[in-house]
Amino acid sequence: KDVFDRGINPATKKKKIKNEGLQLHVVEDVGEAVSRNISGAQLLHELLSAPWLRALLKVFHKFFVDAMHWTRANCPSPDALELYNLLSSPHIQGATIRRDEETGDIYIARVIHGGLADRSGLLHPGDLLVEVNGNSVLGLEPEKVIHILVGLQDKGLFMVSVYMRAMVDYYPLQDSSIPCPDAGMAFSRGDLLEVVDQSDAQWWQARKVPCGASFAGLIPSASTLRSKQREQWWCHPSQVHTCIRPSGFRRSFRLWRRTSYKRRRQSCTSCTPSTNALATPYEEVALYQRLPQENHRLIILIGASGVGVNELRKRLIKLNPSTFQGPVPHTTRPMRDGEQAGREYHFVTKELFEYMVCNHRFVEYGESKGHLYGTSIDAIHDVLKRGRMCIIDVEPPSIHFLRSRTLKPYVIFIKAPGPECLRQSRRNARIITGYAVNRAFTDDFLELEEMSQLIEAKCKQYFDSVVVNDDLQDACMQLCSIIQQAQNEPQWIPVCWLTSSQQM
């Protein structure tokens, strides 16, 4: 990677990755090994980066791309066909496999950009390889699996497990249409499901992950669930989404003026994305491991107002300011003594602010004391581009806006402890209200807990982790270790963040 990066501007680099996908993947891996001082990696890196090999791989890639368009009628020659068959080993067809040393399961490790597997759209990193042409490969040595795959040439029928995140709740015992309620599997939003059989268009078979059960249960297919949702929507059309953006007025953006939770609930949380009557019932996910040269994932903290989201965010940044950073908000208020443009705020005119609103540049924005404040998507990118971990706290509806391939957000729900624990731990806590600054935080605990439960119930399909904020120091330490894992260990993310060209 180092070799390719040198002297290549971003546009050229993009093109190179496309043209030389296979080689780049390998060189990247070896480059990583070089930085870890693995014996022999330097020599291998130099060999793989040699111009003659680059040229050879380019020819090879071109040959393969052309071969994809051959038909019986336009195949250039029998020699070309023979060469194509010779080169069509499973690795070259575009996917590599690896074995989990603990379970013995065989997974798709990598899908080579532009290869057959990539073009088919059927295989994704993290998919579990279950069968090849009806023969189980579970527990086999990878070499054995490769042997079977080599024998297939390009006529293989793979059966891979697909992993899906449930975005809705399902109870088979309440579903009169299920063929056999006892064989059904209940799940709730946020559950990770390993779908092992999709051969039936209406009913799939799946297991929960991590799972104890060795047998699968019956779940409705995506289209079956969607038609159920449509039926429900016609029966209860008043449940349709009514949330009005912009939503965010958290105090952490120096905006939120505390009103009754009940008022907020009516206007916002009851209308979280999950109540959208025709929501996507399942989201396909795959394991993703951030590469060292990639931007960090955006860290989003979500929680009921007053639970301590902002306090935790500030503490994290104070604990390690060279690693964690928040985005610099924009404001139309004049700069005060001691403030510096771009440090406390980006100071902008009302016209520019409104232009940014029209162009959807703000994640959240609002007005306080006659001035506009907002946090822009560009400010988030600025932090990430500097190699820092960007931490933000937002209102639940804003998650949708931030869920993108470029930001790959990792969402942590800050959960309220029980009211008694709140009363004990928040004895000295203060809140800022619309009419009194630093009001003692006394009778809000029940409402706060209620709100916290509501957010969890409505949005848990978007949460990657949950931290209960009982003791501030414990919660802060937990957050640190969760964030490190989120950045450095494999995590389940939507497949579209890996493959689509969705951009913010």
Ligand X SMILES: Nc1ncnc2c1ncn2[C@@H]1O[C@H](COP(=O)(O)OP(=O)(O)OP(=O)(O)O)[C@@H](O)[C@H]1O
In whole angstroms, the minimum distance from the beta carbon of 317 to ligand X comes to 13
190 or 306: CB nearest ligand X: 306
Minimum CB separation from ligand X for residue 378, in Å?
23
Are 164 and 183 in contact by the 8 Å Cβ rule? The answer is no
d(CA 462, CA 283): 11
Q: Is the separation of the CB atoms in 389 and 485 below 8 Å?
A: no
Distances (CA, A) of 102 to 22, 128, 288: 29, 14, 19
Q: How far is the CB of 245 from ligand X (least distance, A)?
A: 18
Distance, in Å, from the CA atom of 125 to the CA atom of 117, rounded to the nearest integer, reads: 11
Q: What's the CA gap between 461 and 166, in Å, rounded?
A: 7
Strand partners, 107: 98, 128
Q: Which residues bind ligand X (CB under 6 A)?
A: 250-252, 256, 303, 305-311, 425-426, 429-431, 441, 469, 471-472
Nearest approach, Cβ of residue 504 and ligand X (Å): 24
Cβ proximity to ligand X, 258 vs 458, nearer residue: 258
Return d(Cα 80, Cα 68) in angstroms, integer: 12
Six-digit token string for 493: 């993310």
Shortest gap between Cβ of 236 and ligand X (angstroms)?
32
Residue 456 beta carbon to ligand X: minimum distance, rounded to whole angstroms: 14
Phi/psi-derived region of residue 336, left when phi > 0, alpha when psi is between -120 and 50, beta in every other case: beta
The token pair that represents 423 in the structure block = 């009363």
Residue 256 or 282 having the CB closest to ligand X:
256
Least distance CB 391 / ligand X (angstroms)? 12
Q: Are strands 217-220 and 158-166 parallel, antiparallel or unpaired?
A: unpaired
Q: How far is the CB of 250 from ligand X (least distance, A)?
A: 4
Closest CA to 197 of 180, 217, 182: 217
Pick 24 or 431: Cβ nearer ligand X? 431
Strand locations in 76-202 (E): 95-99, 106-111, 128-132, 135-136, 158-166, 192-197
- The smaller minimum CB distance to ligand X, of residues 125 and 303, is found at 303
Residue nearest to ligand X (CB): 308
Nearer to ligand X (CB atom), residue 93 or residue 452: 452
Give yes or no for a contact between 303 and 411, defined as CB atoms under 8 angstroms apart: no
The Cα 331–Cα 376 span in angstroms is 11
Instruction: Tell me whether residue 221 or residue 368 sits nearer to ligand X (CB atom).
Output: 368
- Cα 106 from Cα 359, distance rounded (Å): 46
Q: Which is nearer to ligand X, 141 or 474 (CB)?
A: 474
